[in-house]
Amino acid sequence: MPALHEGAHNPDYENITLAFRNKDQIKLSQSTPTKQAKFKPSLDTAPVPPWLHRSIMMLYVLLALIFLSCIVLSALVLVKNSQMSKELWTLKAELSNVSNAVWNIQELQNSQKDIWKAVQSGINEAKNKIAMAISNIQSGNDKLKTVTADITQIKRTLETLEKAQPKPSK
């Protein structure tokens, strides 16, 4: 530490620091141009009218208002989208309920068809049995018609046999 402070009062040290400073100043003076370009307005440009700045400012304000209205409209679209999404979910649930009801109705219709087929099969079987019974009754009726004729024939035969047989004496 003392070595650092010693150099500060040392004349050689002061000469070295001055030499570095002079070098930096020489470099700076060489790098800066000696002639500075002065801005000269060209003759063909007219002075800017004072209303131009106001008009440009109004355009910026209008642009900002348009940007804000776009943000507001975007927010409204998002809100409406959210509402429609909720409505679509409700419609989906209702459609699911209707679909389930239709499925249940179809199942009931299928079971009714099966029951109706069984009833028709039973009706056809009963018709066949009734037709058979009617046929049996008809054949029985036909036999009964011949029975009376047969009985009459038997009576005649018996009468002829009785007449042909001698009468026993008493």
Cβ atoms within 10 Å of 130's Cβ, excluding its own: 10
Condensed to tens digits (0 to 9), the pLDDT of residues 36-51 reads 555 555 556 778 888 9
Report CA-CA distances (Å) from 20 to 12, 26, 33.
Answer: 13, 10, 22
* pLDDT of 1 strictly over 50: no
Confidence of residue 28 (pLDDT cuts 50, 70, 90): low
Confidence of residue 7 (pLDDT cuts 50, 70, 90): low
* pLDDT of 9 strictly over 90: no
Instruction: Provide, rounded to the nearest whole percent, the portion of the chain with pLDDT above 70.
Output: 72
7 CB-near residues (< 8 Å, 6+ apart): 13
